[in-house]
Amino acid sequence: MDQQNAHSISGARDNKLEVSIGRQVRAFRKKIELTIAELAKLTGLSNGMLSKIENGVASPSLATLQSLAAVLHIPFTAFFRKYEEERDVSFVRAGEGLIIERRGTCSGHQYQLLGHSIGKTTAVEPYMITLTRESDIFPIFQHSGMEFIYMIEGEVGYRHGNETYPLTPGDSLFFDADAPHGPEELKKLPIRFLSVIAYSRFSEE
């Protein structure tokens, strides 16, 4: 695959929502037998801008989508139906997770995001957490939702609220994440565990 084609594929992935909306605009326009020029005139858009929207290379504003919906005689939400019907999937090869800098992250503490959900009311974030160096200051987290931890390597004293739980390979911990929590005692390095966080996208942090 040449560099130009690779760049085009990458761009298509980045604007998946715009592409989905554009396809819906084109489909509804053709359904009522309007040309691009006719729809552009009725909505006050230029032919060029409407063409870009339909081809997924321009992101329409909410006002533009409302105007298009009114002219096409469809509910505003119809533009998003095909996108919402898609099913999320994340495939991450070994060692290729996205490295995340979280609050309190220090040298020897690595947080690797292994996937994420899109367009759902409940967000799910799986992390591979690796601790390879002693630290006098441990990151303490507190956020909405639930969290599940599964120990893979090493030994750690993991704090949740006022309790500290000794975790060794095969142990797990499932808890409300709104209580202060985090690794408090690094007993045997390196330490590696899977952390899965689930929370509502609409909850107040």
pLDDT at 110: 82
Name the segment(s) of the chain with CATH classification 1.10.260.40.
3-85
Measure Cα distances from 31 to 25, 26, 73 in Å: 10, 8, 11
Residues of the chain with CATH 2.60.120.10: 98-200
Instruction: Find the range with the poorest average confidence among 98-107, 115-124, 146-155.
Output: 98-107
pTM across the whole model: 0.55
pLDDT > 90? residue 42: yes
Looking up tokens 């298009």 gives 68
- pLDDT tens digit string along 106-131? 556 788 888 877 666 788 889 999 99
Window from 7-11, 59-63, 100-104 with minimum mean pLDDT = 7-11
CB atoms within 10 A of CB 22: 23
CA 200, CA 205: separation in Å to the nearest integer? 10
Confidence band for 5, pLDDT divided at 50, 70 and 90: very low
Q: 10 Å Cβ neighbour count for 137? A: 7
Span 152-164, average pLDDT: 95
Give CATH superfamily name and number for 3-85.
lambda repressor-like DNA-binding domains (1.10.260.40)
Count how many residues are written for the chain.
205
Structure-model confidence comparison of residues 19 and 175, the more confident one: 175
Which of 13, 24, 14 is closest to 55 using CA atoms?
24
CATH architecture of 98-200: Sandwich (2.60)
Mean pLDDT of the residues in the chain: 82
pLDDT at residue 3, rounded to an integer: 42
* Alpha helices for the chain (secondary structure H): 3-14, 16-31, 36-43, 47-54, 62-72, 81-85
pLDDT of residue 1: 43
Q: Looking at 95-99, 185-189, 193-197, which range is the least confident one?
A: 95-99
So what's the pLDDT on residue 180?
A: 93
